[in-house]
Structure 1
Amino acid sequence: MAKYMLSDPNFSDGTRKEVIDAIIGEFRDKPGLKLIGYEPDADFDRLPAELLGTPEAIKEALLSASAKAYELIDMEKQHGRHPRIGAVDTLEIYPAKDVSIEECVQLAEEIGQELFKRHGVPIYFTGKNARRPDREGLTVIRKGNYEGLRDAVLIDPSRAPDIGPAKLHPTAGATIVGAAEQHDAYFNVVLDTTDLAIAKKLASYVRGKTGGFTNIQGTIGLPNVHRRTGKQCVIVSIEVSNPLQTPLHRIYNLLKAEAARYGVNVLAGQVCGTIAAEVLVQTAEWYLQLEGINGPWDYKSQILENHLLDLQG
Structure 2
Amino acid sequence: MESSRETKAKKIMKDSKIICCKLYISESRNTSALEAIERASRIDPEAVIVNKFQDRAYNRVRYTLVSYVVHDVSAGITYSPMRQTLLSMVEAAFAAINLETHSGAHPRIGVVDHIGFHPLAHATLEDAAQLAKLVASDIGNGLQVPVFLYEAAHPNGKALDEIRRELGYYRPNHMGNQWAGWDFPEILPERPDVGPAYVTRARGITVIGASPWVDTYNVPVMSTDVPTVRRIARMVSARGGGLPTVQTLALVHGDDSTEITCMLLDPSTVGADRLQSQVELIAAEEGLEVEKGYFTDISQDMMLERYTKLVSSG
Q: Give the TM-score band, short-chain normalised.
A: 0.7 to 0.9
Residue aligning to 2:265: 241
- Cα contact 1:73–1:87 (8 A) shared by 2: yes
Q: Contact between 1:128 and 1:179, CA under 8 Å: does it hold in 2?
A: yes
Matched position secondary structure for 1:76: helix
Contact 1:222–1:237 at 8 Å: present in 2 too? no
Gap runs ≥5 in structure 1 = 226-231, 279-304, 306-313
Residue 174 of structure 2 corresponds to: none
- SS in structure 1 at match of 2:55: coil
Map of 1:160 onto structure 2: 191
Question: Which of 208, 214, 236 pairs up with 1:206?
Answer: 236
Deviations 1:225-250 (A, max 9, x none): 7xxxxxx4332111222212222222
2:121 to 53, 74, 97: 97
Return the offset for 1:141: 5.0
Partner of residue 140 from structure 1, selected from 153, 161, 165: 165
In structure 2, the residue matched to 1:291 is none
1:121–1:173 Cα contact (<8 Å) kept:
yes
Correspondence for 2:48 among 34, 39, 42: 34
Residue 123 of structure 1: aligned partner: 147
Give the gaps of 5 or more residues in structure 2: 1-14, 70-79, 171-180, 306-314
Summarize the Cα distance change of 1:139–1:206 in structure 2 as closer, same or farther, 3 Å threshold. Answer: farther
Conserved 8 A contact 2:233-2:250 = yes
Relative to structure 1, is the Cα distance of residues 155 and 189 closer, same or farther in structure 2, using a 3 angstrom cutoff?
Answer: closer
Q: Using the TM superposition, give the Cα deviation of residue 192 of structure 1 relative to its aligned residue in structure 2, in angstroms.
A: 3.5
- The root-mean-square deviation of aligned C-alpha atoms, in Å, is 2.4
Deviations 1:249-285 (A, max 9, x none): 221111111011012232212111123469xxxxxxx
Question: Is contact 1:4-1:54 (8 Å) kept?
Answer: yes
Instruction: Indicate the structure whose relative CO is greater, using CA pairs within 8 Å and at least 6 residues apart.
Output: 2
Q: Secondary structure at the match of 1:186?
A: strand
Residue 295 of structure 2 is aligned to residue 271 of structure 1: yes
Contact 1:74–1:87 (8 Å) recurs in 2: yes
Which residue of the other structure, out of 111, 114, 119, is the alignment partner of 2:135? Answer: 111
Task: Identify the match of residue 57 of structure 2 among 24, 28, 43.
Answer: 43
Q: CA deviation at 1:142?
A: 4.3
Quote the residue 1:6 is aligned against: 20
- C-alpha separation between the residues in 1 aligned to 2:266 and 2:40? 29
- SS of residue paired to 1:40: strand
**Correspondent of 1:170 among 201, 206, 217:** 201
Q: Residue 196 of structure 1 contacts residue 223 of structure 1 at CA under 8 Å; is this kept in 2?
A: no
Aligned to 2:217: 187
Identify the residue that residue 76 of structure 2 maps to in structure 1.
Answer: none
Shift of 1:5: 0.7
Q: Which amino acid aligns with 1:176?
A: V
The answer on 1:216 being equivalent to 2:230 is no
**Deviation at 1:213?**
3.2
Per the normalisation by structure 1, the TM-score is 0.77
Quick one: percent identity of the two aligned structures? 21
* Partner-residue secondary structure (3-state), 2:34: helix
Tell me how far 1:136 sits from its aligned partner: 4.1
CA contact (8 A) 1:215 1:240 kept: yes
Name the aligned partner's letter for residue 196 of structure 1: V
SS of 2:253 mapped into structure 1: strand
Change (3 A) 1:9 1:214: same
